[in-house]
Amino acid sequence: MTFCSFFIGPYDQAKKPVLKSIETIFLKDDIFLFRVSIRTPYQFNSILFNQKERFGIETLVSGDTYEGVYEFTIPSVLIASIMVYDIYNGKVEITTNKILSISPNFIYFVSPYIIKDYVTNHRHYNVLYFNYTDIPRNSIISMIDYSIERYHPTLDFKDNIATPYFHSTYNYTIQMFQIEFYIEANSPIGNFNFFLNNEIVFVTKELFSNRLRIKKSNMDLQGPIFKEIKKITSNEINNTNKFAEIGWTMAIEDPINGFRDGFVVIKGEIDQSIYNISVSFNNVKNGGNKFLGEYDFKFNLTYPCISQQYIISEVVLTDVANRKSVFAIFPSYFPSSLRSASNPFLYFLNDTNINTIQVQCSNHPSASADTTAPVLKSFISSKTTIDVSALDRNVTFTFVAEDLESGLKANQYPIVYLTIYVGQYIECKSSIIEITQTNATYSCTIQLPVGFGYSHPNVILLSVYGFINNNGILSGFSTQDLINFNNDMFHDSLEVTYNFASNQPILIDYLMINDKGGDLIVSGVKFNRNIDVYFNFKDGSVSTANINVISSTKFRVSDVKATKDPYQIYIKSSNINSNTITVTPVVYDYYLHGDPEPTFPPTVTPVPTNKPQQCKGNPTCGGPTNGKCIANQGCVCYSPWVGIDCQSQIVIIDPPIFNNGSNNSTSPSIDIVVPDKNNTNGNNNTTPITYHSLISIVSLREINIQNEVVNTITFKDDWLSKQIDDSTIIFYKEFTKSTTDATTNITVTLKWFKNQTTISFAQEQLLMNPSTLKYTIEISNYPFENSLNQLELVMSASMQSNTTDDICSAKEFGETTNGDNSNYLKIQVDNYSLYGRFIRRGIIDSTIRTISNILLDKDMNPITSSKSLQSYIGIQIPYYKESAIIDPDFSILIDSNKASSICSNKSKLSGAKLAGIIIGCVAFIAVITISIIYHLKKKKMAKEFTKGMNQKMKQMNDINKDNL
């Protein structure tokens, strides 16, 4: 088949392409769907973005090649120029340019672990929160990591990009932009370097007051390297020694991240034969591992052959953290992002022949005289016409080559090239079906991309190259060569069709989704409005979902479940099943060497356990419905009962309103309000009775070995804070010790548990009851005056009631009995209590250590009255170097028994006192007059005492209100 596509005659400029309209639809991250309406009187050929991304007729969704609508996806930040071409290379060009300078007004990092940010063998997940003034909420802003490691390429060189991009979404709950990102394992210690960018914003980290610091890392920026190299050579290959194994055994070293995979390309210097050998750490020889192990890179040669050097021309080695080392004789073969990578031959730079092996072959009587190249005997395509809109777009090529003098060289695999008019091509690498002394039969199969070649003149041109004979002579055959054979045994092209009437849906690709799940956007063709999607997960679960069809080429699936494993999806549209594609999530948080969770080293001191206690209560442990008695431990309560006697019950209340600056005060102080819905104040006062509990962090004290306070940091209402969601808020504060310049950070995460939940802290399983507030307090490195000193974090807890009735209050401090090896503090006012649990262990320098909790009331002058009670607790943290994490929690209880320790003096005389008075009256009837006089005088004194007490209580309540 022959054709000519050149334009004959003058080009009419009035008929050049016209870009009628451009519509953009946001998909995800910085990716947009572009819908372009184009008129091309000379037929559409292609559209080019930034002289880089080219799209053809495969993007046509409606109309025809004269006037049609085309859809494709591309990052918005790339749009600088758009060119539309017709089949005669006529074009129209549009350029865009937007620049705007805007400064951020708030930035904040948050993560359960990332504030300390240990990245030793651990890729760490994090979230960046920020706001911009006058930026629309639907703006997409990208975060680019430009840490020093990025000058060494770390990622696959797809699209010549070595730097990961992370993209913003708008969090309507907290009214801020957020970017989920990760810090690569074993990154450099120091500030995390990044900038924010989109088509209108460019901001570097220097503009932000908050910095994210990497404090601990086993830094590894270098890719794997060759530690030892042994050449595999052979004696001369000749008529008696007809077989030889040639190559290298190389020990690959990567002592930190570990070797993952790589490839080595070996070329014959004369015949340009190619041996591309790929390995992974699964191919390591016995005795090795991914940190250091031997691998074979070898190939076979047979007689007849030619004497020549075999040269390692290219090497790419990748470690588990995706950092690469590369080598190339011609560096331009690699994208620029890889050319500065470390050299895998680093230890052998002085040996210029380390990558070469000389092979000697004796002359063959007939082969050595061969001066002709291999010839093609047949070239057959399984299809002469192919529908590039069909589900089956496979085509197989079978071809035979011949070389009568020296024969075809084994282990060389010719490549079939499929080329379309605009110069794009795809490759189909063959395999050898059969080889004899003179002939070789090859075959390859390829699936064409959807729409490939459906552009004027709707033809795919075929060619094949890479035949080598045993005397080192090459040959290949162009499309014109195949045409010139003028034989049915030589197919030179494929005719292309596209069935627009078909309803067959095809899935092509998907936009990146991470292991947190969320929205999955899939690309393809022939999507209608009635589609169901089916998921097959690695754990064996199968699910279906309805989807939001964005266009005939895109759909969105919301709330895909979180998973780190690949999963498969397919769709059913109009009762027609699509093909199946595999989705591989990008994992944002993982350990390089398979650690499922961070492991703690052996504890320095024994983990504390509570001493044996007797079971208390009447009935014991509240009876069989409330709890059970365990000998030498105490009462173990059934939810919702708690306490050492199981006679206090969890109160389900509304979450507290976090104090995050809305009232011009920012500190991790939480006021929990408990309404007593069954009672109101008396004396015709219908005000409902409420109970207020206040929890706050007061100060941090350094205490020496003599138990003397040597330094105190008193916390004020000047914390940075941000509410992450309706149940979590983070407070952050930096302070400097007056005697040093060292800065210490304290981060307090408050989390409200609405439902019963079991969590793990310091290798202890802890039950969080409903309506529990948990504090996670992390303190960074502190400049101790002496290694024998310790820190004491002082917390305050109080309870107050607005009742006008005569009530009592009480407090308890002791050890729990339910097996969690903790201290408890119970502050009770009437029959409501604030219950605090203080775990007797913490994570100190990543090690589980014992901590102590003590009552400080004798030194701190707390509020003490029948209606308002306060207590101070000191959490004592041993000396450390890097960080300390503690984890107290608080909840509200209603008690079966009312408090009776601290009561109002308005209470009436007891029965015993009245009996004493009666007996006194009978015994001393003779002095009744004196008794009456004495009684009247005593009554007057009692009134004066009560008046003074009321004044004092009023002062205490006023103080408590100020504290609230």
What is the CATH code for 367-497?
2.60.40.10
Is the bond preceding 619 in cis, omega lying within 30 degrees of 0?
A: yes
Q: Which residue has the tokens 């042994």?
A: 230
Per DSSP, the residues of 544-580 read EEE-EEEETTEEEEEEEPP-SS-EEEEEEETTEE---
In percent, the amount of the chain with pLDDT more than 90 equals 41
What is the pLDDT at residue 679?
A: 63
Give the SS3 label for residue 283. Answer: helix
Assign 247 a pLDDT band (cuts: 50, 70, 90).
Answer: very high
* 8 Å CB contact between 629 and 646: no
Q: What is the pTM of this model?
A: 0.61
Q: Is the pLDDT of residue 336 over 90?
A: no
pLDDT for 893 beyond 60: yes
Whole-number pLDDT of residue 45: 85
pLDDT confidence bin for 936, thresholds 50/70/90:
very low
- Choice between 766 and 942, residue whose per-residue pLDDT is larger: 766
Quote the mean pLDDT of the chain: 81
Residue 394 clears pLDDT 90, i.e. is over it: yes
Nearest to 842 by CA among 776, 787, 780: 776
Average pLDDT over residues 892-906: 75
In one-letter notation, the amino acid at residue 560 is V
* CA pair distance 400, 378, nearest whole angstrom: 5
The CATH classification number of 18-98 equals 2.60.40
pLDDT tens digits, residue range 88-104?
A: 888 888 765 432 233 34
Do 900 and 862 touch, CB atoms closer than 8 A? no
The pLDDT of residue 382 is: 96
The sign of the dihedral angle between the CA atoms of 653, 654, 655, 661 is negative
Instruction: Judge whether 355 and 304 are in contact, CB under 8 Å.
Output: no
Domain extents in the chain: 18-98, 122-214, 225-359, 367-497, 506-583, 651-677+687-903
Q: Please determine, for residue 78, whether its predicted confidence score (pLDDT) is greater than 80.
A: no
- Which one of 81-95, 118-132, 195-209, 309-323 scores highest in mean pLDDT? 309-323
pLDDT at 475: 97
| pLDDT value, residue 204 | 67
Using alpha carbons, select from 361, 227, 382 the residue that is nearest to residue 306: 361
The yes-or-no verdict on residue 933 having pLDDT over 60 is: no
Mean pLDDT of 67-96: 78
CB atoms within 10 A of CB 41: 14
Q: How much is the average pLDDT of 615-624? A: 92
Quote the pLDDT of residue 733.
Answer: 87
Q: Which CATH number fits domain 506-583: 2.60.40.10, 3.40.50.720, 2.60.40.1180, 3.30.420.40?
A: 2.60.40.10
> What dotted CATH number matches 225-359?
2.60.40
Domains 225-359 and 367-497 share a fold: yes
892-914 mean pLDDT: 64
**Helix/strand/coil percent split, the chain, to 5:** 10, 45, 40
Torsion of CA 625, 626, 630, 633, to 10 degrees: 180
* Per-residue model confidence (pLDDT) at position 313: 95
Q: Smallest Cα–Cα separation from 695: which of 676, 671, 666?
A: 671
Integer angstrom CA distances of residue 234 from 249, 353, 571, 767, 892 = 14, 17, 56, 70, 83
What is the band of 885 on the pLDDT scale with cuts at 50, 70, 90? Answer: very high
What per-residue confidence (pLDDT) applies to 720? Answer: 82
Q: Is the pLDDT score of 959 beyond 80?
A: no
DSSP assignments along 343-355, one per residue: PTTGGGTT-TTTT
Percent of the chain with pLDDT over 70: 81
Q: Which of 63-67, 217-221, 617-621 has the highest mean pLDDT?
A: 617-621
Give 337: exposed, middle or buried? Use CB within 10 Å, 0-12, 13-18, 19+: buried
Contact 380, 395 (CB under 8 A): no
pLDDT(233) > 90: yes
Q: Encoding tokens for residue 108?
A: 């904040």
Higher-pLDDT residue of 328 and 32 is 328
Q: Parallel, antiparallel, or unpaired for β 213-214 and 190-191?
A: antiparallel
**Structure confidence by residue, pLDDT tens digits, 21-45:** 888 777 776 677 888 899 999 888 8
pLDDT attached to residue 902: 81
Mutual angle of helices 928-963 and 911-923, in 10-degree steps = 160
Q: What is the mean predicted confidence (pLDDT) over 434-448? A: 96
Per-residue pLDDT tens over the stretch 811-850: 999 999 888 889 999 999 988 999 999 999 998 888 888 8
Residue 731: predicted pLDDT: 87
Element (H, E) at 776: strand 772-780
The pLDDT score that the predictor gives to residue 334 is 58
> In CATH, which of 1.10.3470, 2.70.98, 2.60.40, 1.20.58 is domain 651-677+687-903?
2.70.98
